[in-house]
């Protein structure tokens, strides 16, 4: 397949398999989504969803979050890993949201990426899923699939994001990144991947 054919095939296959794309992280608003995405770094969405009910029961907004101290937050989120870093980031960004944004989550990439513990990928998820702004959050899983599908030869997620944004229409980005995540989990895992049984890899390599 030529690249344009691969792009079309990937988009059509993902749309057929995943016409609806629920957000994998449980949340109620932009703040709880931001915290959930921050917790998901090097942790599965499934585990995050088991931890956040306990956290959000105590604090589902920045005002309640800073009533706890860092150690209290750390104790709750410990199963997510990186808890020393994440607990400080959650506490500090909650303070900043109160002081600078009246407790609201800002809706710009620049302001989000200035918050402690919030990188470009986390900001992209919040912008796309909380505010509906076109973004293409690329993590290591999407990076891996884009390479397998010969949609990028980027050496890092930043380059892969640029390549995918160039290849797919802007109005599909928010849904497409979730479709790729779902597909990767079901058909195209990092380990134990059977190319012949993968609906996309099997066709791309065959043609």
Active site residues: 121, 139
What's the distance, Cα to Cα, between the start and end of the chain in Å?
A: 5
Alpha helical stretches, state H, 59-169: 62-65, 70-77, 83-101, 109-113, 120-129, 140-148, 157-167
DSSP state letter for 30: H
- Report d(CA 65, CA 59) in Å as an integer: 5
∠ CA 52-57-61, rounded to 5°: 85
- Report d(CA 174, CA 135) in Å as an integer: 6
* 57: Cβ contacts below 8 Å, ≥ 6 apart: none
* Nearest CA among 45, 41, 71 for reference residue 185: 45
């Amino acid at each position: 397949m030529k690249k344009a054919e691969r792009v079309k095939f990937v988009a059509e296959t993902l749309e057929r398999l995943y016409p609806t794309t629920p957000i994998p992280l449980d949340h109620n608003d932009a703040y709880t989504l931001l915290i959930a995405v921050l917790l998901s770094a090097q942790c599965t969405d499934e585990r995050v969803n088991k931890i956040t009910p306990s956290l959000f029961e105590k604090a589902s907004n920045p005002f309640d979050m800073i009533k706890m101290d860092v150690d209290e937050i750390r104790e709750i989120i410990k199963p997510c890993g990186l808890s020393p870093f994440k607990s400080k980031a959650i506490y500090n960004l909650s303070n900043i949201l109160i002081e600078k944004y009246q407790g609201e989550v800002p809706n710009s990439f620049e302001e989000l990426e200035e918050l402690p513990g919030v990188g470009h990928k986390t900001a992209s998820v919040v912008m796309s899923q909380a505010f509906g702004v076109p973004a293409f959050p690329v993590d290591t899983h999407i990076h891996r699939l884009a390479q397998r599908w010969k949609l990028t030869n980027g050496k890092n997620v930043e380059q892969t994001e640029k390549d995918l944004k160039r290849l797919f229409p802007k109005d599909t980005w928010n849904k497409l990144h979730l479709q790729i995540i779902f597909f990767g989990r079901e058909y195209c895992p990092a380990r134990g991947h059977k190319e012949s049984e993968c609906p996309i890899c099997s066709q791309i390599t065959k043609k």
